[in-house]
């Protein structure tokens, strides 16, 4: 999973959203269902909060082992002001 993230971050931050979108879609097709929390991080970083929360919920249902790391994750920073973030932390029984 790390390899596709490494490729799509620079494209997104360089304003090459179409390339980043294409790479993200390919990554999700390849192994997104195996690592839904990683997909959520990408969407949160991109400021696509609705999609990020959809993938966090999928990660929760899949019992994604990386979910316990979400509190304070810099890639999820864009979600912190959204009431759904605090609700999700409570759902995970993590401190707000």
Domain boundaries, the chain: 2-91
pTM of the predicted structure, to 2 decimals = 0.82
How many residues are there in the chain? 96
Give the separation between CA 4 and CA 53, rounded to whole angstroms.
21
3-class SS at 62? helix
Percent pLDDT > 90 in the chain is 44
Interval 6-30: pLDDT, tens: 455 555 665 667 877 777 788 788 7
Q: Which residues does 39 contact at the CB level (< 8 Å), separation at least 6?
A: 24, 27, 28, 32, 55
What mean pLDDT is reported for the chain?
83
Q: Which residues does 26 contact at the CB level (< 8 Å), separation at least 6?
A: 4
């Amino acid at each position: 999973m790390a390899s596709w993230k490494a490729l799509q971050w620079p494209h997104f931050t360089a304003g090459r959203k179409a390339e980043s979108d294409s790479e993200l879609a390919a990554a999700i097709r390849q192994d997104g269902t195996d690592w839904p929390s990683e997909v959520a991080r990408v969407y949160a970083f991109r400021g696509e909060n609705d999609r990020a929360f959809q993938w966090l919920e999928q990660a929760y249902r899949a019992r994604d082992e990386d979910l316990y790391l979400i509190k304070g994750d810099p890639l999820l920073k864009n979600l912190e002001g959204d009431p759904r973030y605090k609700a999700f932390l409570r759902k995970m029984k993590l401190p707000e």
